Amino acid sequence: MELDEIKQRALAHLDDVSDLLALEAWRVAYLGKKSPLSQALRSLGSLPLEERRRLGAQANQIKELLEKALLEKEAALKAAEVAQTLGQEGVDVTLPGRRPTLGRLHPTTQMVRAICQVFVTLGFQVVEGPEVEWDYYNFEALNIPPDHPARDMWDTLWIDSPERGDKGAMLLRTHTSPMQIRVMERTRPPVRVVVPGKCYRYEATDATHESMFYQIEGLAVDKGITFAHLKGTIGEFARRLFGGERKIRFRCDYFPFVEPGVEVAVDCFACNGAGCRLCGNTGWLEIMGAGMVHPGVLEQVGYDPKVYTGFAFGLGPERVAMLRHGIDDIRLFYSNDLRFLRQF
Ligand code: PHE
């Protein structure tokens, strides 16, 4: 075969090559050991010198040309392949990135903050205390000695740990009231604090009882504090949280560390006190326990009850959140169901 013809054929054939497999076949056919070009190069030796030089140079030129064409074709085919894969997978590099999911505050946290904020504007300070507590703070110093029947009001989770002489056994606090004692122990009046935090009870859980929940304790001690201050403070709190029209109701209740003790209810904001599903047709929503700090408690921390008086209250933020949002099961708060949590 004429060298020129070999070249024409090889180049024409290369045009038809459309994938890397066919390209390899082309390489074997036109540049491989058995290709006409290699054969031509091998047969040069039998030619006269003059012709050998001429044809040899020409054959080598063609070889270089074909090798270069091979590399170019290979690069083109590879680029086409990449472009095709991207096209198939639908990668659009101009698309904006995926938005990361943003977390949010838990409905309880939101409610705790809203409630504390109201009391902060009324001049209260926010403090926090330990969730694992001594018997002394949770019961004893709050007028609940061992064997006092009032202990049955709190189903207690005791900690299996050695007792501390003057403080007794350890437990998960059943309310935030122990912080009344801790705060008064380390400060002199005037005292105005609110204490948000988790509490624990050994409960058979149901729609209105959880074994872990929050409380917000309030305590104000000063010279001349009366029940009127308690009423004024709670009323103002209720109106700031539930709206300016709200009325409050006090009814006698018993807590060993207050005297008198009361249960506080707000007139239902859903029906304005007429009676509806939310308030169980009573027109009232019970939101907290409260009362005047018991003189025995003041004495316990070295405050003279003839000079100082005070009021205290304890409210459940989940309960307030349930009333506000119409949530009918307290267990929803801590069951980590995003369908619930995302609504707040
Ligand atoms: N600690 C009480 C409870 O958990 C509530 C309370 C607090 C009552 C302060 C009166 C005063 O039930």
* Average confidence (pLDDT) per 10 residues, the chain, 344 residues: 86 90 91 89 86 88 91 90 78 85 93 97 97 96 92 89 87 97 97 98 87 97 97 93 87 96 89 83 91 97 97 95 86 94 93
Is this structure's pTM higher than 0.85?
Answer: no
Task: Report whether residue 181 contacts ligand 1, using a CB cutoff of 6 Å.
Answer: no
Spacing, Cα 324 to ligand 1 middle (Å): 21
Q: Choosing from 258, 262, 265, 320, which is the catalytic residue? A: 258
Indicate which atom in ligand 1 lies nearest the CA of residue 176.
1
pLDDT at residue number 1: 63
Nearest CA to ligand 1 atom 9: 313
pLDDT at residue number 158: 94
Task: Report whether residue 234 contacts ligand 1, using a CB cutoff of 6 Å.
Answer: no
The one-letter code for the residue type at 64 is E
**Test site for ligand 1: of 184, 198, 210, 255, most ligand atoms within 8 A of the Cβ:** 255
Spacing, Cα 179 to ligand 1 middle (Å): 11
Taking CB atoms within 8 Å and a gap of at least 24, the contacts of 294-298 are 294/143, 294/256, 294/257, 294/258, 294/259, 295/259, 296/143, 297/141, 297/142, 297/143, 297/180, 297/181, 297/257, 298/184, 298/221
pLDDT at residue number 205: 87
End-to-end Cα, the chain, rounded Å: 85
Q: Choosing from 27, 169, 173, 175, which is the catalytic residue? A: 175
